[in-house]
Structure 1
Amino acid sequence: MLDETQFPFLAEKGHIVSLVGGGGKTTLLHAMAAHGARKGWRVLASTTTHIQRPKEPLLARTNAELAALWTSGNYAVAGAPAPDNKLTQPPQLERWMAQADAVFLEADGAKHLPCKAPAAHEPVLLPQSDIVLAVAGLSAVGKPLQEVCFRLETACTLLGVPPETILTPELLAKLLADEQGGRKAVGARHFYAVLNQADTPQRQAAGEKTKELLRARYGVSVVLTTFSEKERA
């Protein structure tokens, strides 16, 4: 269950939230969308790049399907068909966004790896988006960057380390907070780092250390999250 004291924007209508990074971004997107739907809001989830097709019958392809999902108390996932059972940005996205009480967008990809650095064309943040969440999975901490990081060469350049370097809380904090990392193109938008997969004592400890560094060194708001197997997208 998500906590509105940690994510205060979940208590307010009108936000357009973009999620970047890896390690549970899609799961978090669906959890936030479901949270808004339980409040009786018209919630739209979509992507500016690609997103996995939803497991449940939540896909809206027409105005009628969108209205039916909202009327039934569900959130709607909007996307145009893409290869590998994915969806891409639909042509009607901005029009549907204008009708929604809250919008959650995946704004980059990570190939199922727990952390990443953005490529030159990433992230794809819409001008209307006012909040950015940079997500990373704590399963990456303590492992070589070359095993856990998407866009490895970019990450190594950003961090100034070779690929075999062990990812520490210090390095993860820099990767998330740097303006060429998780904070790329954020500008004046509200920014949070989300440390997911805090589901063992070791990962929890790594998360708390990373959280402390992000707050003290970079002034970043940080939330630790964990999702059960059943909750994962």
Structure 2
Amino acid sequence: MEAVGERNIKNNLDLCKRDDNGPEIHKVNIIEGTGLDTFIHSLCTFTGGGGKSSLLYKTAEELFSAGFNVLVSTTTMIYHPDVKKRPYSRLVIADAGRILERLKKSISSPAAFGKGSITIAASEILRANKELKLKGFSADLMDSIYKLHIFDALLVEGDGAKHFSIKAPGDNEPVIPKETGTVFGVVGLDSLGALINSKTVFRLDQFMQVTHSKENDMIDRKVLLKLVDAENGLFKNSPIHARKILVLNKGDTLESIDAAKETGRYILNKNSVASGVLITCAKDADPVKHVIQKE
């Protein structure tokens, strides 16, 4: 069994240490919580539910504020940034045959970017069920964009969740590029303690199959562990080399953060495929409340 450490973060160089003093909240941003090297010259894919898109854009904002050029895209569909009032510097729409050249031209223009930028790339704009969305690119094309090395960081959304806090992947998802260095698997803390049914879980049948559970069972830490570690679970289709980080989002009370700590410790002490756990509240200025990692 691997030891589990918890980071009392003041800067990126702090050592891990045990925290047995209850729900101590460490308010830091995502870059501080995971380390800058997680994102720079890397491709990160976000999967799951419970605020995944909000965390992706929060990460993009932080990298932008630190002076980096960030690309945001998807291998499925995401909302048009104006729908959710997401920050961005420019939106590049081009089909698969033209996107590489369009991106090279956009990033090479001195007038286009100041110190730091957020570029959102998509193949087309769609109106689905009266909602404005962006259609993304194949995993292979995202790998090709990464290999251009014209962006400091690439952030990719790899599946959808229909606004649910917890889900199991469908047959053809998540779609994760092979060049992905880190996969963030996101679960909303409001799902813990809820009953397993069609109102709380997206892709209910797959979820029950993956977690060996039944309808109206409670979603507890044991169920979550099965979701995290199952071959067809939260980190399905992740490259072997990729770092896997479980994100427990919606930690907006001391009670929810305390419960998330216990859940995170339990999962990592079971020698989970996850290398660490972030407890977050994406809507906050400093979204990372606590970090638990294998030592």
Instruction: Name the TM-score, length of structure 2 as normaliser.
Output: 0.71
Q: How many residues align?
A: 232
Match of 2:53 in 1: 26
Match of 1:88 in 2: 135
SS state at 1:16 partner: strand
Residue 122 and residue 169 in structure 1: after superposition, are their counterparts in 2 closer, same or farther (change >3 A)?
Answer: same
Deviations 1:137-185 (A, max 9, x none): 0011111121221111001011111121111122123212322101212
Moved over 4 A (4+): 9-12, 62-69, 90-96, 229-232
Contact 1:158-1:180 within 8 A present in 2 as well: yes
Match of 2:212 in 1: 160
Residue 17 of structure 1 deviates from its aligned partner by: 0.1
More strand by share: 2
Q: Comparing 185-194 with 105-114, which one deviates more in the overlay?
A: 185-194
Q: Comparing 180-189 with 100-109, which one deviates more in the overlay?
A: 180-189
Aligned residues with identical type, % of pairs: 26
Residue 75 of structure 1 deviates from its aligned partner by: 1.0
Q: Give the AA of the match of 1:73.
A: G
Structure exhibiting the larger radius of gyration computed from Cα positions? 2
More helix by share: 1
Residue 89 and residue 166 in structure 1: after superposition, are their counterparts in 2 closer, same or farther (change >3 A)?
Answer: same
SS state at 1:218 partner: coil
2:183 pairs with one of 125, 129, 132: 132
Q: Give the AA of the match of 1:89.
A: G
Q: Give the AA of the match of 2:196.
A: L
Structure of higher RCO (CA pairs closer than 8 Å, 6+ residues apart)? 2
Residue 56 of structure 1 deviates from its aligned partner by: 4.2
Matched, 1:201 2:245: no
- Cα distance in 1 for residues equivalent to 2:183 and 2:246: 9
Residue 11 of structure 1 deviates from its aligned partner by: 6.1
SS state at 2:246 partner: strand
Q: Give the AA of the match of 1:167.
A: I
Matched, 1:120 2:140: no
Structure 1 unaligned spans of 5+: none
